Amino acid sequence: MTEKKTMRKWYWVWDFEKEEEWLNEMALNGWVLESVGFCTYTFEKCEPGEYAVRLEMHGMDESYIDFMRETGAEYIGRMAMWIYFRKKTADGPFDLFSDIDSRIEHLKKIGRALSVIGAANLLIGLSNNLNGFRFSWINLFCAALLTYSLGRIHGKKEALERERRLRE
């Protein structure tokens, strides 16, 4: 029986790179991600550094998961819009984004999702407020938090765009 452990940890959407970094540090210490849930990560014992872990925001797409499997990556699971993969380091480098442009596109995808969810919360909050619902502030708070998240993601995208211009 494989040794396992579960940890609970929270990451903001703009910290997805820190989440990936933490998951890879765990793998370097001999604990590779086996499954993921809301703020819950289950790890299984492995050889230190045996795996690399990657995550990205990606819709439900079985053909993409099949494509990743063909590259040697293992599908771990998904949490909301985020999808998690792992791959043995002996199989070579493991990157989901091949260049700066693909990283920028990923950030744009995150930004679009945040915009839609934020706008929906704003409209619901304003509508509830106009109709006298006591808890309309919850949706307005969520809209403000999502707007902040959007700003953080936009800042990362702008930094990559500056880097791309410097390389051209």
User: Are 69 and 134 part of one and the same domain?
Assistant: no
User: Are 77 and 108 part of one and the same domain?
Assistant: no
pTM: 0.89
User: Are 108 and 82 part of one and the same domain?
Assistant: no
At residue 2, the pLDDT reads 82
User: Are 11 and 87 part of one and the same domain?
Assistant: yes
Residue 134 has pLDDT above 90, yes or no: no
Q: What is the mean pLDDT of residues 123-151?
A: 92
Residue 168 has pLDDT above 90, yes or no: no
Q: CA–CA separation, 10 vs 107, rounded Å?
A: 20
**Residue that finishes a domain, picked among 91, 109, 143:** 91
What are 20-72's pLDDT values in tens digits? Answer: 999 999 999 999 999 999 999 999 999 999 999 999 999 888 999 999 999 99
User: Are 85 and 147 part of one and the same domain?
Assistant: no
**Residue that finishes a domain, picked among 91, 117, 149:** 91
Please provide the size of the chain in residues: 168
Domain count, the chain: 2
Range of the structural domain that residue 49 is part of: 4-91
Q: What is the mean pLDDT of residues 113-131?
A: 93
Find the DSSP H helices in the chain.
16-28, 62-70, 100-130, 136-167
User: Are 72 and 135 part of one and the same domain?
Assistant: no
Confidence bin at 129 (pLDDT 50/70/90): confident
User: Are 85 and 153 part of one and the same domain?
Assistant: no
